[in-house]
Each structure stands twice: as C-alpha cells, then as structure tokens.
Amino acid sequence: MLGLWRWQPFKLAKGCFWGKEEGVIILETAVALALLGMVGTAIFSGLATTSKAVFLANERTTALSLAQSQTEYVNTLAYSPEYTPDLIPYEDYDVDIYADEPYGDIQKITVTVRHHDRPVITLESYKLQ
C-alpha cells in the first residue's frame, strides 16, 4: 500500500503558471539564490554590527572603570602639582593624569584613558587641598 503512492511536488504544480512544467527552470533557481544571498548578507551584517557594538561597549566600560579608579587614587594622595598613575591592570591601556594650577583650595584633575594610543574617555574631577 505504501509503495503505490509517491509524492511528486512538481506534478502538483502543473498548470499553475504556464502549463505542463516538469522541472525547475534556471530563472527560478537564480531568484531563489538571489533571495538566499540577500538574507544571508543581512544576517552576517547584523552579526558584524553586534560584534562591533559589544567590543566598543567593553572598551568604554573598561576605560570608565580605569578612569574612576585612577581618580579615586589621586583623591587619596596629598596635594601635588603633578600625579603619576597607579598600577594599570589592563594591557594596551594608558592613563594620563593632568593637574591644573589650583584656584584657591580647589584643583582640577583630568584623567584621560587611551586604548591603543586612541583616547577613549576623559574624566574630570576636582580635589580640595
């Protein structure tokens, strides 16, 4: 009983468009490949964008954490016209600390974090003498 019935998808489609089609023509194949290519390109483009966004978020979060820790470190030190960064636990990150001349009892501290010699974040704070 099972051997008598065979599924033949192209015989079901006979007469739908132009008559008695037996196979897939090259135009249908080209359209299917073009659609598949567009969908694949959209998916890979989305993955690339997501990957770049995750990398940038990770870089900015690390730089912000490093800038905040360096600012807290400077605030624990005695007043000085110049500060050197504390130990930097991350590779490829550099920290520059600039201290402005004090205005009365207030000194402006600027911490700049660089990743691969490119500034990522600058954090400014004030310190009392």
Rounded to whole angstroms, the Cα distance separating 85 from 35 reads 55
In this predicted structure, the answer to whether residue 4 has a pLDDT above a threshold of 60 is no
Contacts of 69 (CB under 8 A, 6+ apart): 86
Residue 100 DSSP label: P
- Predicted confidence at residue 88, as pLDDT, reads 82
User: pLDDT tens-digit profile of 97-120?
Assistant: 999 888 888 999 999 999 999 999
User: pLDDT tens-digit profile of 46-102?
Assistant: 999 999 999 999 999 999 999 999 999 998 988 888 898 888 888 899 999 999 888
Rounded to whole angstroms, the Cα distance separating 116 from 61 reads 15
- Predicted confidence at residue 20, as pLDDT, reads 55
Sorted by where each begins, the domain ranges of the chain are 24-128
